[in-house]
Structure 1
Amino acid sequence: MDTTDISKIVQEVLRNKGLIGPGSSTAKPPAQTIASAAAVPSSAKSGRAAVLVEPKKLEIREFPLREIGPDEILVKVEACGVCGTDVHCYKSDPFGLTPNVLGHEGTGEVIQVGANIKMDSVGKEVKVGDKIVTSLMETSPDCLIAKYNPAKANLSDDLKVYGLLPDEPNNHFNGYFGEYLIIRPGSSFFVVNDMSVELRCLIEPAAVVCHALERAKSCGGNRLNFRSRIVVQGCGPIGLLMIAVLRTHGVNNIIALDGNPGRLAMAKSLGADETINYKEYASADEIADKVRSLTKGLGAHWGFQVTGVPVAHANLYKMIRRGGGICEVGHFVDGGECAINPHRDICAKEITLVGSWVYNSFEYPNAYHFLQRAERIGLPVTSIITHKFPLEKIDEAFQTNLRQEGVKVMIEV
């Protein structure tokens, strides 16, 4: 069979379908036929994703890529940071999500936009080729917390985060540890073309610290200003970004507390004025004495607890002056309990205690403006990304994180 025979067969099929008239030798399909064929780009029929199939077991699997709907966006993932929450899921599946695709500190390039999508969540035009970030989906209309207090939608019981969603039969691309992400209806998303891929991967954790800062500020008083003396306990990725956001906000007296000399050095570069290595002290009381020596003998005005270690929370009260405050940022999973003395630690000092839980979608713009401002004033925020791994080596990436090597581990897709 030669090309002439093939051409005759194709023309006969098209005549039978009514797409060309009798005797015609060319065909021009209707517009809807062209649109249907372009619904999923030919280069994106399937993609790989790292599936957590059980605790401590990730498998790279190939999945078909379904056609997106008119209110959805198809993203080609570029990179994603490994969050502490990802590591907790990897170790023990505390939320009962397996099998699923993790990853929520990610970013990628738009390769297809649903017909109904015109703008991102702050009114920027969105189009193919744009760089984008997303994390949260809208809560259920039945959620009374979100309904009566939208500013507290982050406390909804059905808060949904990409990378912390169960697998679905018709969509396996729910997290950033895969080649693609489908942004579904009801999601917040933001076009961030003017940022490097590293900076974009820090927007989600930056939203965490921006929210924590707002929680502390919500308590009123005069505790967070140029002369405030602040302790940040824990210099992991969130703690380091907490230091950076405080410095960017104008706080000039920041004390960083950690047991890793490398992380303490990084804390200095990101805005800490003083550092304390807790391993050099015999007790929490001695650490508190050191803090008081750096704060005119009174203790810090405010402390941010970012370790995720319960006993660290208990110890922080000793470092805070009377009338001061504490923001607990570090416990996104249940790490256990600790003992405090309500009289000595809270009542006698009139301590203000606030918790900080994730963030709201409207805090994403605040987060990326913070990161841009931090870079402009010379804070090397992207330096916290110390390791990069391809998707094929995601197990090695998680093991690196578990060994606490470096600071922030990033997966490049």
Structure 2
Amino acid sequence: MNPNEQQIDRIVSDILRQVKSQSGDHSKRGESTGAKLGRAAVMKAAGKIEISEFPLRQIGPDEILVKVEACGVCGTDIHCYKSDPFNLAPVVLGHEGTGEVIEVGRDVKMDSVGKPVRVGDRIVTSILDTSDACMIAKYNPLKSNLCDDLKVYGLLPDEPDNHFNGYFGEYLIIRPNSSVFVVNEMSVDLRCLIEPAAVVCHALERAKNCGSTLNFRSRVVVQGCGPIGLLMIAVLRTYGINNIIAIDGNSNRLEMARTLGADDLLNYKDYAGIDDLAAKVQSLTKGLGAHFGFQVTGVPTAFSNLFKCIRRGGGICEVGHFVDGGECAINPHHDICRKEITLIGSWVYNSFEYPNAYHFLQRAEQIGLPVTSLITHKFPLDQIQEAFEVNLRQEGVKVMVEAR
């Protein structure tokens, strides 16, 4: 066969179309990332973060490649930055993030609640499943958050072939057996609040199920108005609690607490001591003390003080101590036994609580709570160290790092 010039042109065009089609198909299925590079903020040691560029490895058939849009700075990130208490360095931090799906492994069909996952979707993720050897998860799957081998993106050690394990970078590789949720209908700011919202939703569920009183007439104290404390106030208001007392030493954060649902604002600096502060709480609760209290400061002394503000038969949920902040003194007779206090702890959340978290945020906006006002500062990735320092100085509330 001796093809003429027109036939040759047609054959070449057909081949080029096939190559282009196959290339596009591979990209969607995650079978080739080429020589793509991406930047990531690597915490080399406590107090030291460097922006480095790394090659992106090919994703596997059960993985997803995400182009990061933004990530909030969490108190846990700050603890890591200050002292690396978990010995993770070198590590790419960041777990309050979100991004756009740009490649999907060929075996990935849907997210954790059955929504299809496609290129272009906006997603959130945080937790990887625990190992099969975990006895806690084996005998009580609803308590898998208590597994010693719980893995969270942004708290995974750096790897030779993958430096994109946290949201403080331009990309994130979502591994098999991860919790993934498509949240296309939500703004970037709202998506970055889903992870901390899951923390307070979990705390609320713990409090509801412990036998203490939480209903429309309950009087509740929230001690600590950082990002988690403020979201705790918002979730209580959204749940229907109509009497919320916020306690903090920062007047600006107390005013924000008011916009998110607090009825009474108590600046502990205005009182001579805990007895004086507790007396004020009692005056706001018919002389009895609050039905329930959420301790969200992470300060041991604050935890011991909160008992003085709770009535007999009431309850306390400890939410704030995600790292060891030290010890404190309580009186077992006066603080616990005589009052028959119900004391519970709340640790992180389970992956299945993410839908509860983003539905809470959507509902909070619907009833007029300005939850995204928590985000007071935004920094590009190149200025991440300044973002951390601003957080350390407690200038504002929630600091966000944008992958730009």
Q: Which amino acid aligns with 1:40?
A: S
What is the letter of the counterpart of residue 61 of structure 2? Answer: P
Measured after TM superposition, the shift of residue 209 of structure 1 is 0.1
Aligned runs of 1:3-402 on 2, under 5 Å? 28=15, 34=23, 39-41=31-33, 45-221=36-212, 223-402=213-392
Once the two structures are superposed, what CA deviation does each residue of 1:204-254 show, in whole Å capped at 9, x if it has no partner? 000000000000011124x11100000000000000000000000000000
C-alpha RMSD of matched pairs (Å)? 1.6
**What is the one-letter code of the residue matched to 1:172?**
H
* Structure 1 residues 331-380: Cα deviation after superposition (integer angstroms, max 9, x where no partner): 00000000000011000000000000000000000000000000000000
Give the letter for the 2:105 counterpart. G
Residue 304 of structure 1 and its aligned partner are, at CA, apart by 0.1
Q: Secondary structure at the match of 1:139?
A: coil
The structure-2 alpha-carbon separation of the partners of 1:37 and 1:82, relative to structure 1 and needing over 3 Å to count, comes to closer
Letter in 2 for 1:188: S
Partner secondary structure for residue 207 of structure 1: helix
- Residue 403 of structure 1, aligned match among 369, 393, 398: 393
Code of the residue aligned with 1:137 in structure 2: it is L
- Distance between the aligned counterparts of 2:277 and 2:312, measured in 1? 17
Partner of 1:13: none
1:101 is paired with a residue whose SS is coil
User: Aligned to 1:359, what secondary structure does the other structure show?
Assistant: coil
**Paired residue type of 2:246:** A
- 1:339–1:47 distance in 2 versus 1, CA, 3 Å: same
C-alpha separation between the residues in 1 aligned to 2:12 and 2:91?
51
Q: Counterparts of 1:148 and 1:41 in 2: how far apart (Å)?
A: 40
| CA displacement at 1:403 relative to structure 2 | 0.3
Distance in 2 of aligned mates of 1:123 and 1:370: 20
Contact 2:33 2:56 in 1 (8 A): no
Segments of structure 2 that go 5 or more residues without pairing to the other structure are 1-7
Amino acid at match of 2:177: G
Aligned twin of 2:4 = none
Q: SS of 1:100's equivalent?
A: coil
What is the CA-CA distance between 1:45 and the residue it aligns to? Answer: 0.4
| Cα drift, residue 28 of structure 1 | 2.7
TM-score between both structures, scaled by the size of structure 2? 0.94
Matched residues in 1 for 2:316 and 2:49: separation? 37
Partner letter of residue 96 of structure 1? Answer: N
For 2:159 and 2:332, how far apart are their aligned partners in 1?
46
Structure (1 or 2) with the larger CA radius of gyration: 1
For residues 162-186 of structure 1, what are the alpha-carbon distances to aligned partners after superposition, in whole Å with 9 as ceiling and x for unaligned? 0000001111000000000000001
CA, structure 1 residues 411+28, in 2 after alignment: closer, same or farther (shift >3 Å)? same
Q: Which runs of 5+ in 1 are unaligned?
A: 1-20
Cα deviations across residues 42-97 of structure 1 (Å, max 9, x unaligned)? 6x701000000000000000000011000000000000000000000000000000
| C-alpha separation in 1, matches of 2:263 and 2:33 | 52
SS of corresponding position for 1:239:
helix
Whole-angstrom CA distance in 2 between matches of 1:25 and 1:150: 57
8 Å contact from structure 2 (residues 33, 58) kept in 1: no
Amino acid at match of 2:249: G
Q: Secondary structure at the match of 1:244?
A: helix
Report how far residue 282 of structure 1 moved.
1.1
* Aligned-residue identity in percent: 76
Q: How big is the shift at 1:41?
A: 4.8
CA drift of 1:40 comes to 3.5
How far off is 1:25 after superposition?
Answer: 5.9
> What is the identity, as a one-letter code, of the residue corresponding to 1:358?
V
Q: TM-score, normalised by structure 1?
A: 0.92
User: 2:207 and 2:319 mapped to 1: Cα distance?
Assistant: 11
